[in-house]
Chains A and B, each alone.
Chain A
Amino acid sequence: SAVISQKPSRDICQRGTSLTIQCQVDSQVTMMFWYRQQPGQSLTLIATANQGSEATYESGFVIDKFPISRPNLTFSTLTVSNMSPEDSSIYLCSVSGGTGEETQYFGPGTRLLVL
Chain B
Amino acid sequence: AQSVTQLGSHVSVSEGALVLLRCNYSSSVPPYLFWYVQYPNQGLQLLLKYTTGATLVKGINGFEAEFKKSETSFHLTKPSAHMSDAAEYFCAVSVETSYDKVIFGPGTSLSVIP
Contacts and interface: CB of A to CB of B under 8 A. Distances in A.
A103 interface: yes
B98 A96 contact: yes
Contacts of A41: 106-107
B43 A108 contact: yes
Interface string B66-100: 00000000000000000000000010001001111
A16 B102 CA distance: 31
A43 B92 CA distance: 10
Given A42-B104, A45-B101, A106 B51 contact: no
A92 B43 contact: yes
On chain A, which size bracket covers the interface?
Answer: 20 to 34
B98 A43 contact: no
Given A103-B49, A105-B46, A97 B99 contact: yes
A92 B92 CA distance: 15
A92 B43 CA distance: 8
Contact of A96 (B43, B99, B106): B99
B42 interface: yes
Contact of A102 (B44, B98, B107): B98
B110 to A, nearest CB: 15
Nearest to A6: B43
B106 A30 contact: no
B105 interface: yes
Interface of A: 30-31, 33, 41-45, 48, 58, 92, 94, 96-97, 102-109
